[in-house]
Amino acid sequence: MKADLHTHTYLCKHADGIAEDYVRSAVDRGLTMIGCTDHAPMPDNYDEKHRMTLEQFHADYKPAVLELRERFKNVIDVKFGVESDFFPGTEQWVRDFHDANDFDFVIGSVHYLGEWGFDNPVFVHRYDEENIDSVYERYFNHIRRSAESGLFDILGHCDLVKKFGHRPTKNMDEIVRETMKVVKACDIVVEINTSGLRKPVQEMYPSEEILKIIGELHIPLTLGSDAHMPEDVARDFDRARPLIERYGGGVVSVFTKRQRSEVRVS
Of the pair 23, 177, the CB lying nearest Zn ion is at 23
The Cα 94–Cα 124 span in angstroms is 27
Of the pair 72, 142, the CB lying nearest Zn ion is at 142
Going by C-beta distance under 8 Å and a sequence separation of 6 or more, which residues neighbour residue 198? 232, 235
Of the pair 86, 247, the CB lying nearest Fe ion is at 86
Closest separation in Å from C-beta 147 to Zn ion: 16
Closest separation in Å from C-beta 193 to Zn ion: 7
Closest separation in Å from C-beta 218 to Fe ion: 25
The Cα 197–Cα 193 span in angstroms is 9
Closest separation in Å from C-beta 118 to Zn ion: 13
The Cα 190–Cα 153 span in angstroms is 9
> Is the distance from CB of 209 to CB of 172 less than 8 angstroms?
no
> Is the distance from CB of 147 to CB of 122 less than 8 angstroms?
no
Which of the stretches 19-27, 58-66, 84-92, 222-230 binds Zn ion when contact is defined by CB under 5 A? 222-230
Residue 205, classed as helix, strand or coil, is: strand
Per-position x/- string for 167-206, each x denoting binding to Zn ion as judged by CB under 5 A, each - no binding: ----------------------------------------
* The entry of Zn ion, Fe ion, none that residue 60 binds, CB within 5 to 8 Å by partner kind: none
Q: Name residue 223's beta-bridge partners.
A: 192
Q: Name residue 256's beta-bridge partners.
A: 259
Task: Spell out where 177-218 has E strands.
Answer: 189-193
The Cα 11–Cα 38 span in angstroms is 8
> Is the distance from CB of 12 to CB of 48 less than 8 angstroms?
no
Of the pair 109, 194, the CB lying nearest Fe ion is at 109
Which of the stretches 114-122, 209-217, 224-232, 241-249 binds Zn ion when contact is defined by CB under 5 A? 224-232
Of the pair 109, 222, the CB lying nearest Fe ion is at 109
# chain residues binding Zn ion, by CB under 5 A: 1
Closest separation in Å from C-beta 7 to Zn ion: 10
Closest separation in Å from C-beta 163 to Zn ion: 10
Of the pair 81, 248, the CB lying nearest Fe ion is at 81
Q: Indicate whether 226 belongs to the interface with Zn ion (CB under 5 A).
A: yes
Q: Would you give the distance in Å from CA 7 to the centre of its chain?
A: 9
Residues that bind Fe ion (CB under 5 A): 83, 109, 226
> Is the distance from CB of 98 to CB of 41 less than 8 angstroms?
no
Residues that bind Zn ion (CB under 5 A): 226
